[in-house]
Amino acid sequence: MFILDLTLIFAIIFVILIVSTVIATIWASVPFVPTPRKTIDAMIKAAELKGDETVYDLGAGDGRMLIRVKKKYPNITAIGYEIVPLVWFMGWLRTFVSRSGVKLKFGNSFKADIGDADCILLYMITRLMALFAKKFDKELRPGTKVISHGFQFKDREYIKMIEVPGMLGMTRVYVYEW
């Protein structure tokens, strides 16, 4: 009887997790697609970090970008936001196991307080890039680096574009100074 109750509770939690994940993914309109390691490394190199900065990933997925940057620069503050429950949970586990000290928060990036950012990492879609541009105009300090995997900001010049060879051809990384 007790085992049956426990199974039912786990089944309910599982269904809630799956349903909320589907709803959040549809709402966010960007699926979780991780950035390949080579591209992450190109983004980290492009960030030209000194080692004491505050770095955000606004749509952090499973946190892999921040874990990699934090491993390279252990004294940075690395903060990620992820809105899809299951993806965030996978990321939470990954950051916990990595013992990297990455802070992966469950929530909406558009509500994040990013005024202390020195560098923002992004892998989004064109429609959301326009919304992020508005947020960055209001909140970022002049000179903050924004490094975007694959997608550009409309009406803004990048300072550098890097091409990274991948399995499906070249991937582009765009570097902006806000």
Ligand X SMILES: C[S@@+](CC[C@H](N)C(=O)[O-])C[C@H]1O[C@@H](n2cnc3c(N)ncnc32)[C@H](O)[C@@H]1O
The binding site for ligand X (CB under 6 A) comprises 28, 30, 32-35, 57, 59-61, 64-65, 81-84, 87, 108-110, 123, 149
Dist. CA 161–CA 148, nearest whole Å: 10
Minimum gap (Å) between residue 66 Cβ and ligand X: 8
Nearer of residues 6 and 93 to ligand X, judged by Cβ: 93
Nearer of residues 49 and 173 to ligand X, judged by Cβ: 173
At 117, phi and psi to the nearest 5? Answer: -70, 140
Terminal-to-terminal C-alpha distance of the chain: 60
Dist. CA 65–CA 105, nearest whole Å: 14
Nearer of residues 49 and 128 to ligand X, judged by Cβ: 128
Q: Which residue is nearest to ligand X (CB)?
A: 59
Minimum gap (Å) between residue 5 Cβ and ligand X: 33
Nearer of residues 53 and 80 to ligand X, judged by Cβ: 80
Minimum gap (Å) between residue 2 Cβ and ligand X: 37
Minimum gap (Å) between residue 81 Cβ and ligand X: 5
Dist. CA 41–CA 126, nearest whole Å: 23
What 8-state DSSP symbol labels residue 168?
T
CB atoms inside a 10 Å sphere around CB 26: 10
Tell me the Ramachandran region of residue 106: left when phi exceeds 0, alpha when psi lies from -120 to 50, beta otherwise. Answer: beta
Nearer of residues 32 and 153 to ligand X, judged by Cβ: 32
Minimum gap (Å) between residue 1 Cβ and ligand X: 39
